[in-house]
Amino acid sequence: MAITVLRTTRTTGRLRMAGGLCCLLPGLLSITTFTHAASGDLAPVEDISQRPGGAKSAARLAAQPPVLPIEARVEQLERTLQNQSLVELLTQLQALQQEVQRLQGMVEEQGHVLEGVKNRQRDLYLDIDRRMGNLERQGVAGGGQGALNASAPPAVPVTPALAEAADPAQEQALYQEAFTHLKEARYEQAIAAFKDYLGQYPNGKFLDNAHYWLGESYYATRQFDPARQHFGKVEANRDSAKRADAMLKLGYSHYEIKEWEQARALFEALITQYPGTTAERLAKKRLQDMTQAGH
């Protein structure tokens, strides 16, 4: 009985193994077929560019950038950041260049203004030199009693009491001292000396000259308000031979403090009233400068 059961069990196991082999057989056949195909001739590769519209597809594929590794991407990002920094630096450089150009324009403008001041100062010195030459030629520096220059004003009449009290030599010496300070460009001393003269000789024979040169001394030190006062005193005397020069310098004084209308009115009146004079020529030049400057 035991032998029969054992044989039955062995038979059942063999049958099960046979069934399992039968199930595995199709899979083995598939693997064999695949292996044969892989080891045999490969299937032909199809060129997609030969398909309709394939050329465009192939071109698009070729145009696509290759996928870069992570290191290359990092390097590319760094280069991009560096390029942005360079752009910012270039922008800052351009801004600095514009600022430098603006400052250069301001410097040029100030240089033009300074050149105008120098020209006006030169006109003043030339005028003083011309007048000094006239004075020297007429013997004032030597203590003569004649007129101070070609345009010297007539002596102002004085009362008999003043005439008796005044010492012509002392008056001449005091006036000459002030004038010497002016010739040597000691303007503060000249101002003090001319004021001293006017205080002692309010009706002296050098009255207009003293006012005029006192105005010149103030003008040379850019004290334009007192300069206008003394030039104005001479300009108010229509009989004064120094009136044309006083009108010119009075106009200059208004010009320096930017009183354009007053300056223009004086220059135009001078040109009309004193044609052919040096003062008229200088007034025309200053009017031309004012017109060019838009004043």
Q: Are 124 and 282 in contact (CB under 8 A)?
A: no
Token pair recorded at residue 109: 């403008």
Maximal C-alpha separation, the chain = 189
> Cα–Cα distance between 219 and 207 in angstroms, integer?
18
> Cα–Cα distance between 257 and 263 in angstroms, integer?
10
Chain Cα centroid distance, residue 219:
29
> Cα–Cα distance between 292 and 119 in angstroms, integer?
15
Residues 6+ apart with CB under 8 A from 231: 211, 212, 215, 219, 246, 247, 249, 250, 253
pLDDT per residue of the chain (295 residues) written in tens, 0 to 9: 444 443 444 445 554 554 554 454 455 444 444 444 444 444 455 555 555 555 556 666 566 666 667 887 778 777 777 777 777 777 887 788 778 877 877 777 676 566 666 556 656 655 665 565 555 445 444 443 333 333 333 434 444 444 445 688 899 999 999 999 999 999 999 999 999 999 999 999 999 999 999 999 999 999 999 999 999 999 999 999 899 999 999 999 999 999 999 999 999 999 999 999 999 999 999 999 999 988 8
Q: Of 248, 174, 168, 180, whose CA–CA distance to 205 is shortest?
A: 168
Q: Are 166 and 158 in contact (CB under 8 A)?
A: yes
> Cα–Cα distance between 189 and 181 in angstroms, integer?
6
Domains in the chain, ordered, with CATH?
120-292 (1.25.40.10)
Q: Are 235 and 243 in contact (CB under 8 A)?
A: yes
